[in-house]
Structure 1
Amino acid sequence: MPMNTFDKTNRNLSHAKMLVVEDNADYWLLIKKSLEQVLPEVKPVLAQTPEQALDLLNEWSLQEWELPKLILQDLYLPTREDGWQLLKKIKQLPSACSRIPVVILSSSSSRADIEEAYQFGSASYLVKPVDFPGWINFFGELRTYWWETVSLPPVHFSL
């Protein structure tokens, strides 16, 4: 029997955490305020540097319920090379972490950036909205797709 959307939503939002890797305080404020309105069930956790993101993922990897369901990663941290390096390192982590979908979020709409994001293992590439109503709409779409439509894989630890 197929799982209905309500069941998927409940499972995806159960103990939902999102790692947000963003080095710009203004963007973090917009992201946090938008998430509070559109995805209040999800706990956003900020990492301001690639090193902080990797430290958190390594710490959380010891306990399944601590892992985020989604990683929202800015590309320029502060350079795009820093963003690519982080994405590559996440994809090289043990499977419990490397399977978490990484959504690249950037102000850049460069075709090269978009192509490289998918080449390096990003699940999606999204261009940052320009104003608060745009962020609300953005997270409404993100909620519909990543939390209500997609079936996220369960986390399996390898010992």
Structure 2
Amino acid sequence: MNFSKSKTSPKRNQNARILIIEDNSDHMVLIKSAVQKCFTDIEVVMASDEQTAIHYLDECIQTGLRPPQFILLDLYLPERENGWQILKSIKNLNPEIGQIPIVVFSNSACHEDITESYDRGATSYVVKPTDFTEWVDYFQTLKDYWWETVTLPNHQSIY
């Protein structure tokens, strides 16, 4: 499928940000590099644990900072229960933050992990890529879908 870049309004990407919750420092480096290669005008906010992620989202609520367009959440932080707890905490922050799409990404292709993630409110579940080229392809696909295809809530007018 070919996505037309001309469909995107310039204002749509203004002040865009992604919150990435990942505890593996090697994956963080790969993710940052791949994101920079695929996205030009977005801010990547990295959090390595639940406290940092929730603090950032609380700050968005308290200060009127535009929240992220979507959240990438590593399921195993370091255990899957940690990832599910973050998912629950984000969904319970407030209705506007709870609307943010959360893409769970993990090395696990286990059926139970996938099903449980959706049952707990994940928007999508993706198995992590294995090398840099796949990471770039992964983020290009995310960009095509989340920036070029779907219409997300406009949180800018909420705060």
Shared topology, TM-score over 0.5? yes
Aligned with 2:118: secondary structure? helix
| Closer/same/farther in 2, CA of residues 130 and 26 from structure 1, 3 Å limit | same
| Closer/same/farther in 2, CA of residues 152 and 80 from structure 1, 3 Å limit | same
Counterpart contact for 1:9–1:147, Cα < 8 Å: no
Counterpart AA for 2:150: V
Q: How many residues of Structure 1 are paired with residues of Structure 2 in the alignment?
A: 155
Q: Cα RMSD over matched residues?
A: 1.7
Structure 1 regions of 5+ residues with no counterpart? none
Structure 2 regions of 5+ residues with no counterpart? none
Counterpart contact for 1:9–1:148, Cα < 8 Å: no
Counterpart AA for 1:25: S
- Could you say which residue in structure 2 is the equivalent of 1:105? 105
1:95 Cα shift?
1.3
- Could you say which residue in structure 2 is the equivalent of 1:130? 130
Q: Encode CA deviations 1:91-110: one digit per residue, 9 max, x unaligned.
A: 11111211111100100011
| Closer/same/farther in 2, CA of residues 62 and 6 from structure 1, 3 Å limit | farther
* 4+ residue runs over 4 A deviation: none
Q: What is the TM-score normalised by the length of structure 1?
A: 0.91
- Could you say which residue in structure 2 is the equivalent of 1:88? 88
Q: What is the TM-score normalised by the length of structure 2?
A: 0.91
- Counterpart CA distance in 2 for 1:72 and 1:81 is 16
- Counterpart CA distance in 1 for 2:10 and 2:141 is 17
- Could you say which residue in structure 2 is the equivalent of 1:40? 40
Sequence identity (%): 39
